[in-house]
Structure 1
């Protein structure tokens, strides 16, 4: 298969190492969902405080904001399979300690922070390994499989996590979470080939080199900017509860609206892999703009079914992130892939967090449907600006 040929899901599934990485990803996603639900319920059961329960849930996301640039470089200094196995084993121990009855809540919080910090080197090592396991267009299809898996987990994961916690108690769910990380470590250790260390970093601040590489390459900064457009596209999630109430829906409508975006994204990613690589690249900027365009129609305050359709279209167009992330990883030398990927993920997390926060604050003064429409309009402008930057960057020689 040449670099320009379109790969299929069957081509990807035929690679044993990919199957191992996919199984490890599936175990980690399931473990993360269990941990978020279990810790939140555990904290609430001890404190009876919704605020502390919400803080515990937020703690499962916040470490990602700093761990990307600070820890992802480990996957460039040490063999990537070893980094993934070590991170999984460390998370197994930390979650097992959280599962012990009587563990003080401050200790649980510290252990949870450690678990989340280890996500960065694990994800960076997997992202850097994938182009070696799946060369050419197989890499893009492999990324699509991971995206579909994650989005599907968001649709069903929290419900399954709640059932697991109800059946096993929070401590039992945490033990199951620890087991999922152990399974991931074993699958990677025996299912992925050992590859030598990609780069011997001599710098005393290797985490800064990833930021420097991204800063100096206009293509990489443009791709990150395009990815950050999702911070506008997910604004609806921040105000989904008051939005559903405003249009005459309740808790059921909240679930439907959240699921609509994720289902749309799964459909969009699957459809995008049907196009040849050159066509996907040509659709990068138009899809980024279209990911926000349907949200502007929320200004008419449509009902639940119409809003679900609009959000599903937004999710489908957001499949452009598959192309952006694939181009980003392929544009970086192997020795620097992990640390630059960590920088990109941090930028994405910051933009999404800022978008959710800004939408929530705006909803204090404006109707939720107006907030979503404004976010869509601003997102379209941001996508056009990032697209112009990408067009300008690709016309110049790469550094």
Structure 2
């Protein structure tokens, strides 16, 4: 059991500001995702286009995370986060204008998603400086609990809100959350100078250095691969609208299905953040990656709504165990002067594989049923996790 509690982490004023800012923007983003999914499915009736649009809320982070993440190693990290928030607020405000053509909406969503890359990279690079020692692991667990809780609220309440409001209104609320996030960061987080480097590399050189650093370290490679299993485990969210339609459910139950995984992750964050010692979590990383896919395999039997929610929540709980500790182990292993760039590569890859997984799921669901597509994704994730678990065991034995 960890000795540091959530209260000790929240006592750190800078972390409270970062935590509150992230919480606000996550709530808005999840509401926007439900709005986009419902809007596109209502317009087109196509599972493929629904999956593609959902993919655009993830996929373009490859550009922002890989090519722009290094800004957080070259500029003050708080400034990078504030600038990204203000730019995203402006973009969402345009997206919220009623009557925007679908192709324009998709293009703007792609740019919006790309800007999330440098924001998250700067944030992840700054957190180990704000929280030291054991507080970092507990703080990451608290972030997971509250972020997943925000996703839960955004997804579960999103369907009901969109039934009462227009999708444009929901998107306008998302723009407001970005503005509030920027305000919290400016007022609550100390501005630190950019990371000192003896020789500041060129932009493309720095980007390549981060990728090489990850590739040459077996432990970092394995942790990245483990994190990227989310490309398979995002499928139930991407197919929530057509799956709900297949069982005769409406927009409100789309949000409920999307909320199931975050609900399980909230429980997982408490369990792994407070009750499971860190050394045990490190040993279990690979096994948890395998186990997270198994509940999804049961969708092959076309479970009803209640069982579907329980299976998705179980998968989310198990995935949380390897997500929290995997991120902590990754960030601790990377030198500070490369931390934002490496965090960007990791996060960009994560969001990109989620986007690709969502798009592929939409296409596959046109051939198979949504339920069978979810089962295939769960089986694929568990199978891919087996060699990852073996590689982590070898890397763990070798040490840093």
TM interval, short-chain normalised: 0.7 to 0.9
- Find the counterpart in structure 1 of residue 201 from structure 2: 202
Preserved CA contact (<8 Å) 1:264 1:314? yes
The total of aligned residue pairs comes to 392
Q: Distance in 2 between matches of 1:96 and 1:241?
A: 25
Please point out which of 330, 349, 352 is paired with 1:350.
352
1:267 maps to: 267
1:81 touches 1:188 (CA, 8 Å); kept in 2?
yes
Q: For residue 234 of structure 2, what is the aligned residue in structure 1?
A: 234
| Structure 2 residue aligned with 1:387 | 389
1:317 maps to 318
Show the 5 A alignment for 1:1-399.
6-33=3-30, 35-36=32-33, 54=50, 58-96=55-93, 111-158=108-155, 160=157, 175-200=172-197, 201-205=200-204, 206-240=206-240, 243=243, 250-251=249-250, 254-273=254-273, 274-319=275-320, 320-398=322-400
User: What is the root-mean-square deviation in Å for CA atoms of aligned residues?
Assistant: 3.4
- How far, CA to CA, are the matches of 2:390 and 2:258 in structure 1? 31
| CA shift digits 1:64-95 (9 cap, x unpaired) | 13211011110111111111122223334444
Task: For residue 373 of structure 1, report the CA deviation from its aligned partner.
Answer: 3.5
TM-score of the superposition, structure 1-length normalised? 0.84
Greater Rg over alpha carbons, structure:
1
CA drift of 1:117 comes to 2.3
Quick check: 1:295–1:310 contact (8 Å CA) kept in 2?
Answer: yes
Structure scoring higher RCO (CA < 8 A, sep ≥ 6) equals: 2
| Separation in structure 1 between the aligned mates of residue 244 and residue 40 of structure 2, nearest angstrom | 28
Answer whether contact 1:210 1:343 (CA < 8 A) is retained.
yes
SS of match in other structure, 2:398: coil
Alpha carbons of structure 1 residues 61 and 299: separation in structure 2 relative to 1, 3 Å: closer
Is the alpha carbon distance of 1:285 and 1:170 closer, same or farther for their aligned partners in structure 2, counting shifts above 3 Å?
Answer: closer
For residues 24-54 of structure 1, the C-alpha deviation after alignment (integer angstroms, 9 at most, x for no partner) is 1022223334555667899999xx6677995
Query: Per-residue deviation at 1:304?
Result: 3.4
Stretch moving more, 34-43 or 183-192: 34-43
Question: Quick check: 300-309 or 31-40, which moved more?
Answer: 31-40
Q: Tell me by how many angstroms 1:131 deviates.
A: 0.8
Closer, same or farther: CA 90–283 of 1 in aligned 2, 3 Å: same
Provide the rounded CA distance (Å) in 1 between the counterparts of 2:369 and 2:162.
Answer: 36
Structure 1 301/61 Cα, relative in aligned 2: closer, same or farther at 3 Å?
closer
Q: Structure 1 residues 387 and 42 mapped into 2: Cα distance closer, same or farther (>3 Å)?
A: closer
Q: Which segments of 5 or more consecutive residues in structure 2 lack a partner in the other structure? A: none
Choose 280-289 or 173-182, whichever is displaced more. Answer: 173-182
- Once residues 111 and 56 of structure 2 are traced to their aligned partners in structure 1, the CA distance between those partners, rounded to angstroms, is 10
With 349-358 and 69-78 compared, the bigger mean Cα shift is at 349-358
1:350-394 deviation digits (Å, cap 9, x = unpaired): 332333344444444445544434433332221121011111222
SS at match of 2:58: coil
For structure 1, the 5+ residue unaligned runs are none
Q: Distance in 2 between matches of 1:303 and 1:71?
A: 43
CA distance in 1, matches of 2:148, 2:382: 23
- CA deviation after TM superposition for structure 1 residue 134, in Å: 0.9
Does the Cα contact within 8 Å between 1:40 and 1:53 map onto a contact in 2? no
**TM-score, normalising length: structure 2:** 0.84
